[in-house]
Amino acid sequence: MKTQLLTIIGASACLLFMPAYADNGKSSSEKKKLCESVFKLAMDTTEKKLKIMPSGKRKRHIQKRMVKAKSQGVAPCLKAKIDAKMLKQRLKYFVRQQESIKKNSEKVDKLIVLLKTGTSLVKLQSIKELRRHSDIRAVGPLIEILKGKDIKVKVSVIRALNVIKDRKSVDPLIAILKNGDVKLRREAASTLGELEDSRVIAPLIAALKDNDTYVRSSSAFSLMKFNDQRIIDAFITHLKADKNDKKSIRNLAVMGLSRSGSPKVIAPLINLLKNDKDPVLRGQVVRSLGILYGQHKKADALDAILFALKDSHAGIREATVRALLELKDPKTVTPLRAALENEEKMLKLTKDVSIQQKNAGIIKLIKYTLTRISKK
C-alpha cells in the first residue's frame, strides 16, 4: 500500500512533509485550531490504516512513531513557521486520505464476496486485486480458498499471502508445505520466509529434504532470513549429504552458513574445502570463508583460503584470488606473489591452449589483486 507511507507520523502529524523552522513562538488562535484539526485527522487516518495493515516491521515502526506524536501533541506545529494556508492544505490532504480509505474498504468488501461466489476466473482476478490492496481483512477468506481443489487459484492465493504477510497464514501454509501439491509447496516455502514467525523454522528445515529441487531451494533461502542456531545446525548437517543425492542442497547449505555470519561455521567449511572433491562447491566454500574472515578475522579461515591457492583445479585458484581481492589484506601479499610465480611456471610448462588461457587469466587477476592491496 503506497498510501501507508504517506500517513506515517513524524514529530507531529501536522508537520508531515513540511520543513520545521522555529519562529518567535507566537501562535494565533486560528493556527492553534488548524493544528489541532490536522493533528486529530492525521492520527485518525493513520489508525484506520493500521487496522488493515499486516503485522510486521513497518506496522511496528508506524505505531512507534504514533506514540511519539501523541506524546508531543500539537506543540511542534505551534512552534513551527507554518501558515494557515499550508495547514489547510494538510487538512484537505487527510480528508482525501479518509475518502480513499473508505473507497478501498468498500472495494475490498466486494472482492471478498467474489472470492466466495465467483468462478475460478473471477476468483483469480479478485485475488490479484486483493494482493494489490494488501488488506488483512482478506487473509481469512483467502485461507478458506486454500481448502479448495483448484491448484491455479490456490497458487495465486499463496502469492497474495506472500504480499500481505500476515501471521494468520502461518499454520495453513505449514500444512501445505508438509502435504500439499508440489506447486503449492514451492510457493509455501517461499512465502513462509516472509512472515517473520519462528514457527516456520522447523517445517522449513524439514523441507530441506523434500524431493523437489525448487522446494528445497526456496526453503533454504527462506531460512537464510532468520537468525537461529537450529538453522546453522541443519545447514552443517546437509554439508555431509551424499554429493550424488540432492546435490544442490549442499551448495545452498554453504551459502546459508556464510550468510549466518557465525564463527562456528568456519571449521565445518574448512573441513569441506580440504576433503570434498566437488570443485564448484569448494569454490563456493572459498568465497564463504572469505566473507567470514572479513567479519571475524579468524586466522584458520585465512590459512584455509591461502591453502587453496595451491589447489590443482584452476577454478578453485581463481575463486581464491577473487576472495583475496575482496579482502585486500596485506597478510596475503607474500602468498599471492608465490602463487603468481607458480602460475607463471605452469604457463611455461603446459602446451594445452585451454590451460594456458586459464593460467594467463589467473596471473592477470593476481597482479590486479596485488595492485589493489598496495593501494589500500
**pLDDT digit string (tens) for 181-237?**
999 999 999 999 999 899 999 999 999 999 999 999 999 999 999 999 999 999 999
Is 190 part of a structural domain of the chain? no
Residue 307 to residue 137: CA distance in whole angstroms? 57
CA distance 46 to 4: 8
In a domain, 22, yes or no: yes
222-232 per-position pLDDT tens digit: 999 999 999 99
State residue 24's pLDDT score.
Answer: 39
pLDDT digits over 81-97, tens only? 778 888 889 889 989 98
What does the radius of gyration of the chain's CA atoms come to, in whole angstroms? 29
- Cα–Cα distance for residue pair 249/247, rounded to 1 Å: 6
Instruction: Give the residue from 77, 101, 125 where a domain finishes.
Output: 101
What three-state secondary structure class fits 80? strand
pLDDT at 12: 39
Q: What are the tens digits of pLDDT across the range 314-358?
A: 999 999 999 999 999 999 999 999 999 999 999 999 989 999 999
As a whole-number percent, the residues of the chain with pLDDT over 90 amount to 68
pLDDT class of 54 with cuts at 50, 70, 90: confident
- State the Cα–Cα distance between residues 116 and 145, nearest whole angstrom: 8
**Is 146 among the domain residues?**
no
pTM for the complete prediction? 0.79
Give the CATH number, domain containing residue 271: 1.25.10.10
**How many domains are there within the chain?**
2
Q: Give the per-residue pLDDT at 10.
A: 38
What is the rounded distance in angstroms from the CA atom of residue 105 to the CA atom of residue 3? 13
The average confidence (pLDDT) of the chain is: 88
191 in a structural domain: no
For 115-144, how does the pLDDT look when each residue is reduced to its tens digit (9 = 90+)? 989 899 999 999 999 999 989 999 999 999
Measured CA to CA in angstroms, residue 166 lies from 101, 135, 136, 245 at distances of 20, 10, 7, 36
Range of the domain at 23: 2-101
Q: Is residue 125 part of a domain?
A: no
DSSP readout, 152-215? HHHHHHHHHHHHH--GGGHHHHHHHHHHS-HHHHHHHHHHHTTS--GGGHHHHHHHTT-SSHHH
Residue where a domain stops, chosen among 101, 129, 156: 101
Distance separating alpha carbons of residues 80 and 351, to the nearest angstrom: 78
Residue 192 lies in a domain: no
Question: Quick one: pLDDT band at residue 114, thresholds 50, 70, 90?
Answer: very high
Residue that is last in its domain, among 55, 85, 101: 101
Residues in CB range of 155: below 8 A, 6 or more apart: 183, 184, 187
In a domain, 163, yes or no: no
pLDDT at 154: 97
Q: Is residue 122 part of a domain?
A: no
